[in-house]
Structure 1
């Protein structure tokens, strides 16, 4: 697989998605939520299909890239990875918000969507939430893991060193998630799942971790809506962010340990066909 072809297909789908979003906002604002979800799912699936068709990737190659199925223990471990990564993200969120609040507390509300009163949310089992779950916890994890941890990472490793391949892959993943405020944790998320794929040789493992992360992020926004209710004094107070700082420190230690353990044994992890 050629890197430039993969990136060309990805760029085409990103531009297509942006054009669709602009069209929806300008022409169909009353149906913006559901139409945007439909186009998001469509473009996620499209770029996998384009990769297969235009680059003539056989089903056997895709099967080899996806790797083996995982058992109950691996599923639980993958879900634990998702939990660790969401804790890291929440920790980054809290630390950055605390730092910014020391200079401009109001800016915290603008950047991270905190508010002084509880916001309106859809019921957990409403069509809006369930459709979002279907896209963010099923379609997106499968397509993104197959592309980034499967197609792109393998293509990079054929031409680049392990370190360069990881940095390029994770940087592209982070740039494409520009709408999020959590750039450090997005990079770490991608890096951790790249390492997980090289160790487990299973896209399914990475997909479960990705899906768990997205599900917990959704629960944070919908079910745990009170998390975002803060006063001006709260955001500037160190004691208000104790939980976030603690989760950041704990998850950072776990992630660092596992990452350095992987790098120590990276040669074995790169034996694709074992």
Structure 2
């Protein structure tokens, strides 16, 4: 089946360009996600009710812990960030991690709430990076914890039994075992390839994903230098999620790039992990 796709700009490109259906129209929901601070209308849900950070997803949503896992890039401009994220959602991305090491707490909360509204509009899940209290405050689907950034079991108690808790395990299987024992829903291994985001990160061999699939029973996320060219080998090794920043958000057409990543998972036949109920 062929799907009509509207080209979405890469992060940092002028998003105010385009006439009669260009990027400006394609990303209208991203602008509405900023509504509380801009005085515009917020995204509308069923029967005209506004979609807010605290609104539940319409109907029963079950998302497998599998596919593209977009991680937001650092961006000084919130509007460009929201447009880029919506483009990824338009392309089929259903897992988004909000990672922001620069913004002040009030701005981080505003952005998290806007991103959550976007995710809810597309039936996607928002995970907050390394900030359990922010995840709890905005009602995110879950939190991702680095080593030393918190305990998975405590995060589970804080966010509730249905929350998604992910844990960074670098290149160590023993950390994955410990994370599973503490109730992690997924473990992240990386850097799988050299990464500009974390150039000093230790290497995580592909064999980790094969072992995790055979022995761990917990979905494994690959992070670090992931591209469309090397992604098939990572999926074939056993990765359930591909965490991508640069290769997604620096693409000329973010929606098309996201769709291409999702298609890789459709082409790869192996047992699906346990779904996560949002």
Hey, which of these two has a bigger chunk of strand by percent?
Answer: 2
Please indicate, yes or no, whether the TM-score normalized by the shorter chain is above 0.5.
no
Does 1 or 2 have the higher relative contact order (CA < 8 Å, sep 6+)? 1
Q: If you compute each CA radius of gyration, which structure gives the higher value, 1 or 2?
A: 1
| TM-score bucket of the superposed structures, by smaller chain | under 0.3
TM-score of the superposed pair, with normalisation by structure 2: 0.25
TM-score of the superposed pair, with normalisation by structure 1: 0.25
